Copies of this chain bind each other. A is one copy, B any other.
Amino acid sequence: METLLPKFDSVFSVDCVIFGFQANELKILLIERNQEPYKGRNALPGYIVKDDESIDDAAERILYELTGLRGLHMEQFHTFGDVDRHPQGRVITVAYYALIRIDGHNEVKPVTNFARSAFWHPVNKLDKLPYDHSKIFETGFQKIRRRLSYQPIAFELLPEKFTLTQLQTLYEAILNKKLDKRNFRKKMLSYGFLKELDEKQKGVSYRAATLYRFDRRKYNKIFQNELNING
């Protein structure tokens, strides 16, 4: 009654595009590889899935091993399966992205020695990455750009308390275009999910801006799931 599955030597892996925002720049997390091929080169954090873990679980584990980051909500966005994408054999890779507040996660450090180091790198100063990682990054970047226009993902990149100018700068970094200050504020505040705090920015050498917090509870009440922000 059983029919055997055909088998061949194949491997699947996970690659991660982890976005962060720091010093008004959008960044992603890279590792310096400590293994052939491409030893010494910078690449996306990625590794092989084990046979007894789901790919979602693998994504979490691999990110932890290569960067020390834990418990991120990662979202799968595409699977890359060209025959020759890996020089050592048939490897298809499932790509994930996540958005993270860099502050507090500034120090990232591999737990295994597959990577020599991990670090944040500005997205608009990326060199060519090994394998098809440049393509993977580009695809992921497109996905979050699109998603930004219908879901409040920006807040995952900001500190818990942020100014409206920070929020706008982040939108501008992702969408890669300038937005009008008054219109941006009007629209953001009109949604009703930003809570104005009784607190001002500290440590700036000019007028301090009011801090806001994203109120997810209100957001969920107001929208089932959708926004529409196009600048």
Spell out A's residues near B (CB within 8 Å).
1-12, 35-37, 48-56, 76, 78-79, 81-83, 88-92, 94
Contacts and interface: CB of A to CB of B under 8 A. Distances in A.
A1 B36 contact: yes
B6 A36 contact: no
- How many subunits of this chain does the assembly comprise? 2
A92 B36 contact: no
Given A36-B1, A36-B3, A83 B53 contact: yes
Majority DSSP secondary structure for residues of A touching B: loop
Contacts of A90: 51
A92 B94 CA distance: 10
A51 B8 contact: yes
A88 B48 contact: no
28 contacts: A1-B36, A2-B37, A2-B88, A3-B36, A3-B37, A5-B11, A5-B48, A5-B89, A6-B48, A7-B9, A7-B10, A7-B11, A10-B10, A10-B11, A10-B51, A12-B92, A52-B83, A53-B83, A54-B81, A54-B82, A54-B83, A55-B81, A76-B78, A76-B79, A79-B79, A79-B94, A81-B94, A92-B94
